[in-house]
């Protein structure tokens, strides 16, 4: 295992794993307390549309997926603000249409076909230097937004009607949370893939929720737990030659089961 | 109850009507709330109680008529109103400390760049002390009982030093002991603050309120401050007989009341 650390791609994988885990911990906490898990799943799948378009038009995949996911997030924000009771329908719609767009654009791309599996289940061992920059910048933005607007985000998440009454711009913060979620989902795709993204955003958070008394501590603990799961999953993946994304998720799920068992007996 | 007829009006509602699309929710409502009133708003589900509160809070705009708070539009005087929303028992898994909930009362006012200011925290602790919950400041909100949680929500509303306190069904999902505590607290706060409570719980509310408004699309209004002595209490139970109460309210000024007719037709159908 130690000699593996000298490989560049392993180093990249570890750095990316830590960056994405922290982003997923922080944003996953917001997604869970705002009951947006299904929504995050929708955005993850919709972003495949962006991947397909990026491949077809030949611009960076991360950029294509990000733009597309942010667009989907803003569309969802707009729709759910006006017809909240139809939210699940819209999410399902965006989920499927986004994926279909991606598949068609990849069909249209001549010659070389991208490996669909690497986006569905992640390809952390193929993380490049630019990817790491992108992840680091995203994490920096998330940390900045959370520290600067913590109380507003807390108020909107806990009791949006009351927040509105106290003059907080609920729509702005709701959209902001969605956009940050979209970007986090996109970087998490690199690590666990778009199908498994939801598990990465929820399992660490679910454990952290039981251990924390405030949203801030929940975010931090989630980040730590997610990092632990990611690194353990990567070790399994490397040692037994397994798919990294699926290994990370199964490590998380097994840990959750163990945690719940111990927590119950306490 | 210190609420003489000539005390200044704090909330003035004139000829107010409101409709969602074509469904008329409120029709021609007139209501004058005076300083240090303890007004109970009662009425059936879907009768428009919550809508009226949202109109007073400026969350909805009237279709006709007007609402003034201290002589101005509701949006200008929002900081003078403390609001305790319905259903404070949802979202109890949320990882948040009691003190953070109370500090939310400050959101939107002048705040430091990061975190919470010392004065804000002192103020929030003061509000918690007012409702007798200061020892729970660092507890998770989900670990409290329903009654305790409701008192925290009242503290949050008090945090902004309101002149009017509005509560929507404050006792709907808490036990009898908790309900009594909440109403005793409101009675104490009523010495300095005008209070408006929406409730289903007629017998308890009339023990504490000095005025009652029955809303079912229209409004009928009753000053009950001097009528309280005419009620009987049954044995040791500390509440009024609801039938007597309804008879009293019905006989008072309900000539134009719609719910009377509805009841009559309902009886005929039976």
Q: What is the pLDDT of residues A76-103, one digit of tens each?
A: 888 887 777 788 888 899 999 999 999 9
Using alpha carbons, list the distances in angstroms from residue B168 to A138, A199, B53, B88: 42, 38, 8, 10
Within chain B, what is the greatest distance between any pair of CA atoms? 65
- CA-nearest of B224, B228, B180, B240 to B37 is B224
What is the rounded CA–CA span in Å between residue A219 and residue A228? 14
Q: Give residue-wise pLDDT tens across range A124-169.
A: 888 889 889 999 999 999 999 999 999 889 999 998 888 888 888 8
Q: Which residue of A has its CA nearest to B113?
A: A148
Judged by a CB distance cut-off of 8 A, whether residue B237 touches chain A is no
Q: What is the pTM of this model?
A: 0.82
Contact A138, A184 (CB under 8 A): yes
8 Å CB contact of A151 and B95: no
* Residue B187 CB partners (closer than 8 Å, separation 6+): B38, B208
Q: Where are the beta strands (DSSP E) in B21-156?
A: 23-34, 38-42, 64-69, 81-84
CB contact under 8 A, B104 and A162: yes
Residue A27 has pLDDT above 80, yes or no: yes
State which residue of chain A sits closest to B91, comparing Cα positions: A158
The lowest-confidence range among A61-65, A254-258, B254-258 is B254-258
Read off the tokens for B114: 């990061």
Give the distance from residue B17's alpha carbon to the nearest chain A alpha carbon, in angstroms: 22
Q: For position A136, what pLDDT does the model report?
A: 95
Which residue among B97, B107, B113 places its CB closest to the CB of A168? B107
Give B197→chain A minimum CA distance, Å: 17
Q: How many CA atoms lie within 13 A of A164 on its CB side?
A: 13
CB proximity B114 to A under 8 Å: yes
Element (DSSP H or E) covering residue B212: strand B211-216
Nearest to A158 among B83, B96, B114 (CB): B96
Q: Predicted ipTM?
A: 0.82
Q: Could you tell me if B112 lies within 8 Å of chain A, comparing CB atoms?
A: no
For residue A241, give the DSSP letter: T
Please give the C-alpha separations between residue A94 and each of A22, A120, A248, A266, in angstroms, as whole numbers: 27, 17, 27, 43
| B100: nearest CB among A154, A164, A218 | A154
Residue-range domains of chain A with CATH: 3-264 (1.10.3470.10)
pLDDT tens for each residue of B16-57: 899 888 888 888 888 888 888 899 888 888 888 888 888 888
User: In chain B, count of helices (H) and strands (E)?
Assistant: 8, 9
What local confidence, expressed as pLDDT, does residue B248 receive? 57
């Amino acid at each position: 295992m130690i000699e593996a650390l000298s490989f560049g791609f392993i180093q990249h994988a570890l750095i990316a794993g830590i960056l994405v885990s922290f982003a997923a911990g922080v944003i996953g906490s917001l997604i869970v307390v705002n009951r947006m898990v299904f929504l995050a799943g929708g955005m993850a799948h919709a972003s495949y549309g962006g991947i397909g378009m990026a491949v077809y038009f030949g611009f960076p995949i991360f950029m294509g997926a990000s733009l597309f996911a942010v667009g989907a997030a803003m569309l969802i924000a707009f729709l759910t603000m006006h017809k909240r009771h139809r939210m699940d329908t819209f999410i399902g719609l965006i989920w499927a249409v986004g994926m279909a767009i991606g598949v068609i654009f990849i069909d249209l791309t001549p010659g070389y076909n991208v490996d669909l599996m690497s986006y569905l289940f992640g390809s952390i061992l193929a993380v490049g230097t630019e990817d790491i920059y992108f992840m680091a910048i995203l994490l920096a933005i998330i940390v900045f937004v959370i520290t600067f607007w913590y109380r507003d985000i807390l108020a909107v998440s806990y009791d949006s009607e009351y927040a509105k009454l106290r003059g907080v711009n609920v729509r702005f913060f709701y959209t902001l949370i969605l956009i940050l979620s979209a970007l986090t989902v996109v970087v998490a795709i690199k690590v666990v893939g778009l199908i498994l993204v939801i598990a990465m955003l929820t399992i660490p958070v679910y454990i952290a929720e039981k251990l924390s008394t405030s949203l801030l501590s929940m975010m931090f603990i989630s980040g730590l737990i997610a990092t632990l799961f990611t690194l353990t999953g990567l070790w399994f993946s490397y040692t037994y030659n397994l798919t990294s994304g699926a290994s990370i998720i199964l490590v998380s799920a097994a840990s959750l089961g163990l945690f719940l068992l111990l927590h119950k007996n306490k | 109850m210190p609420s003489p007829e000539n005390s200044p009006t704090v909330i003035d509602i004139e000829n107010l009507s409101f409709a969602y699309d074509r469904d008329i929710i409120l029709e021609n409502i007139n209501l004058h709330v005076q300083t240090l009133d303890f007004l109970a708003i009662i009425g059936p589900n879907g009768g428009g109680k919550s809508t009226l509160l949202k109109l007073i809070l400026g969350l909805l705009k009237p279709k006709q008529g007007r609402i003034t708070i201290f002589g101005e539009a509701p949006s200008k005087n929002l900081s003078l109103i403390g609001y305790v929303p319905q259903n404070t028992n949802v979202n109890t898994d949320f990882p948040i400390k009691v003190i953070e909930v109370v500090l939310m009362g400050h959101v939107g006012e002048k705040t430091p760049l990061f975190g919470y200011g010392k004065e804000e925290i002192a103020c929030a602790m003061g509000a918690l002390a007012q409702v007798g919950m200061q020892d729970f400041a660092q507890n998770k909100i989900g670990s409290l009982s329903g009654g305790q949680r409701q008192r925290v929500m009242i503290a949050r509303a008090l945090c902004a030093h309101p002149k009017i306190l509005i509560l929507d069904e404050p006792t709907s999902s808490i036990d009898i002991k908790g309900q009594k505590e909440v109403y005793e607290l409101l009675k104490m706060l009523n010495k300095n603050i005008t209070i408006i409570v929406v409730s289903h719980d007629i017998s308890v509310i009339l023990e504490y309120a000095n005025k009652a408004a029955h809303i079912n699309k229209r409004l009928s209004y009753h000053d009950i401050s001097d009528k309280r002595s005419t009620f009987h209490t049954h044995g040791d139970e500390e509440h009024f007989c609801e039938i007597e109460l309804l008879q009293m309210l019905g006989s008072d000024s309900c000539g134009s009341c719609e719910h009377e007719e509805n009841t009559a037709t309902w009886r005929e159908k039976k």
